[in-house]
Amino acid sequence: MTQSIKDQKEVTREVNEKLIIDAAEQIFALYGFKGATTDRISKQASLPKANVHYYFKTKSNLYREVLHRILDDWMEAAEDFDTHPDPKSALTNYVISKMKFSRNRPYASKVWANEVLHGAKIAGEFFQNELQGWVQDRTKIVNDWIQQGKIKAVDPETLFFMIWATTQHYADFSKQLEILNDGKAFTDEQYQQKTQQVVRLVLNAVGIE
């Protein structure tokens, strides 16, 4: 008997928690941690403020959850690098994947940038190991390519940092791009073209083509 009721409640909980996390991601991105108020988040989620505290207890907890989800999604993009053996495909697909993330999840990118900018006080606790491991593994791959003469001799860490910086900039500094684009946000077609240009610059940088 209680099973179906419990299920119903759990569904409600899951739905509302997702509503709140989605809303929080956007509000944290737009206003920063301190600037974001639980009141604004609740309004964005179309729920009473008290419910936000009911589900997540504190604003800091909610923020931590938002960061966790972003890191998971960020890691997923790495697959597009790993599943292609040759440098041209791997780099091309990775850059495209990162550019798509900036396009589809601009708030996520901004929340992350904001967090690292201010010292990664919260995220630092849990993303340290993942980041180091990720870079170590891919550094090996890039160094192999260099030894096999497939790409020019470049510092792998600097290369990845450049790819992250450039692709994430399209989300984090979108306002600056908008200003340069006569105040208008990029159309899908414009964004596609910019993506191709970034791919070309990255391939050039390692001497492919």
Partner DNA sequence: GTCTATACGTTGATAGAC
Partner DNA sequence: GTCTATCAACGTATAGAC
Residue ranges binding a second copy (CB under 8 A): 29-35, 110, 113-114, 116-120, 124, 127-128, 131-132, 135, 152, 154-155, 157-159, 161-162, 164-166, 168-170, 172-173, 175-177, 179-180, 194, 197-198, 200-202, 204-207
CA end-to-end span of the chain, whole Å? Answer: 66
Contact status, residue 206 vs residue 159, Cβ threshold 8 Å: yes
Nearer to DNA, 53 or 68 (CB): 53
**How many amino acids of this chain bind DNA (CB under 7 A)?**
21
Is residue 64 involved in binding DNA (CB under 7 A)? no
Contact status, residue 206 vs residue 197, Cβ threshold 8 Å: no
The tokens for 137 are: 């593994």
- The minimum distance between CB 36 and a second copy, in angstroms, equals 9
Considering only the stretches 37-45, 112-120, 146-154, 174-182, report the one whose residues sit in contact with DNA under the rule CB under 7 A. Answer: 37-45
Judged by CB under 7 A, which of 30, 47, 120, 131 binds DNA? 47
Contact status, residue 41 vs residue 76, Cβ threshold 8 Å: no
Q: Where are the beta strands (DSSP E) in the chain?
A: none
Residue linked to tokens 């929340």: 111
Considering only the stretches 36-44, 132-140, 151-159, 187-195, report the one whose residues sit in contact with DNA under the rule CB under 7 A. Answer: 36-44
**How far from chain centre, in Å, is Cα 122?**
16
Is residue 10 involved in binding DNA (CB under 7 A)? yes
Cα torsion 44, 45, 47, 48 to 10°: value is: -50
CA distance 107 to 113: 10
- The minimum distance between CB 7 and a second copy, in angstroms, equals 41
Nearer to a second copy, 80 or 172 (CB): 172
Binding site for DNA (CB under 7 A): 9-10, 12-13, 16, 36-39, 47-51, 53-55, 57-60
